[in-house]
Amino acid sequence: MIRYNLSCDNGHGFEGWFSSSDDFDRQAKNNLVTCPTCGSASVCKQLMAPTVSTARKKEARQALVMDQTQKETIAKLREMVNTIRANAEDVGERFPEEARKIHYGEADQRGLIGKATAEEATALLEEGIEIAPLPVLPDDTN
């Protein structure tokens, strides 16, 4: 979308949003762009400064995306994941096999972490084996 600063022949300024420059030209030619103040269809584009992305603007956008509550929630999730990892055996690719052994009583109960394909995870769940993925969290930016 493109935002244009516009004005009518009566000097009223306003803005309009268009999908392209051609879209503005087509609508203006067909008298579809009118001044919201006086209704004049004699409308033209005004000079505009380009929008420039700066580091400050980027930081402001990031602040909007992740407020303090969200940061605290992610910190708690990170702590939870670290606790699980610290108290579980990482069996890597053997995860489905080891989870089945524990479920069917062929191995001692213990916490496991490892890797499983989507198909393997679905099969484990269908067998009644309770598993859950560990969340992948964004890196710390502070």
Range of the domain at 32: 2-45
The structural domain count of the chain equals 2
In a domain, 142, yes or no: no
Domain match, 29 and 61 both: no
pTM reported for the whole predicted model? 0.50
pLDDT tens digits, 70-126: 888 888 999 999 999 999 999 999 999 999 999 999 999 999 999 999 999 999 999
Domain match, 40 and 103 both: no
* Distance of alpha carbon 22 from alpha carbon 7, whole angstroms: 18
Residue 49 banded pLDDT, cuts 50, 70, 90: low
Asked if 18 and 4 touch (Cβ cutoff 8 Å), the reply is yes
Asked if 7 and 33 touch (Cβ cutoff 8 Å), the reply is no
Q: What is the average per-residue pLDDT within 114-142?
A: 86
Domain match, 126 and 79 both: yes
In a domain, 141, yes or no: no
Residue 21 banded pLDDT, cuts 50, 70, 90: confident
pLDDT at 60: 67
